[in-house]
Amino acid sequence: MITVVLALVSAKQPKAKPGKVVVTKDGPYIVSGGLPLAKEYIVVDRAEGCPTDWGPGEKYPARETYALCRCGGSGHKPFCDGTHAKAGFDGTEKAGHKKFRDEAEVYGGKDMALLDVKSLCARARYCHQAGGVWGLAYHQKDAETKALAEKIAGQCPAGRLVAWDKATEVAVEPRFAPAVGLIEDPEKGVSGGIWLKGGVPLEAADGQPYETRNRITLCRCGQSGNKPFCDGSHIDCGFDDGDPALGR
């Protein structure tokens, strides 16, 4: 009897809506499905001279649906306040819809290959570790070197770099729960892109879906030449969302 009752109660529970992000025409990103939102800090190792880790930041109150600024001008960042309409923001999407594997350059190695789509670079700089992840991929001396290359590739928030296991023919990816991150880059004194983690679906303003991937970054400074994806323009324009940690 207890088993039957529990089954009935479970059946009545509403299914959670899958989270997704929709790009609006010349407007914000609409995030739905209760995706958690938090800041993510690029942590630089001074001895290494480049980023080596991610640091957790402020978590925002849970919301079922919210709109994130895409033009870079909101006075209520990271959320949209309608500034895009007043400023005449041109949010035309320039990125194509090709599959990652179809565009990737392959850097071979003994046990793993490094897949690289340069147009997705968000200039997070984790790839500079250990003299460059490309060199690690080419010159895999042992399991330790392979594991380090896989880790570094997985730290790239944009998913520009993906480690590919040759034996299993499977991408080696970090495990993320679906979430939205706001990248902060204290070393450069700027705020970075919006990090979609854990396979969050992304839909273009015309309704066409982009390839769902474990890691992608979206532009939030309004200056990217590869909209809706981040291309690192936030560094050039000095984009700052008002985070006190940036020291401005």
**pLDDT number for residue 29:** 98
216 Cβ partners below 8 Å, 6+ apart? Answer: 120, 158, 159, 195, 196, 200, 202, 210, 229
Phi, psi for residue 202 in degrees, rounded to 5? -125, 130
Under DSSP, the state recorded for 224 is: -
Pull the structure tokens for residue 57.
């930041």
pLDDT for 162-215, tens place per residue?
Answer: 999 988 999 999 999 999 999 999 999 999 999 999 999 999 999 999 999 999
R_g of the chain computed on alpha carbons:
19
Q: What angle do CA 118, 121, 125 make, to 5 degrees?
A: 120
How far is 70 from 217, CA to CA, in rounded Å?
12
pLDDT at 26 over 80: yes
Pull the structure tokens for residue 35.
């995706």
The stretches of the chain forming alpha helices (DSSP H) are 2-12, 83-87, 100-103, 133-138, 143-155, 233-237
pLDDT for 49-67, tens place per residue?
Answer: 999 999 999 999 999 999 9
Nearest residue to 121 via CA among 103, 144, 147 = 103
How far is 73 from 111, CA to CA, in rounded Å?
46
Q: Are 22 and 30 in contact (CB under 8 A)?
A: yes
How far is 148 from 23, CA to CA, in rounded Å?
35
Residue with token string 């984009």: 239
Neighbours of 142 (CB within 10 A): 9
pLDDT for 113-148, tens place per residue?
Answer: 999 999 999 999 999 999 999 999 888 878 888 999
pTM of the prediction? 0.91
**pLDDT number for residue 108:** 80
**pLDDT number for residue 9:** 35
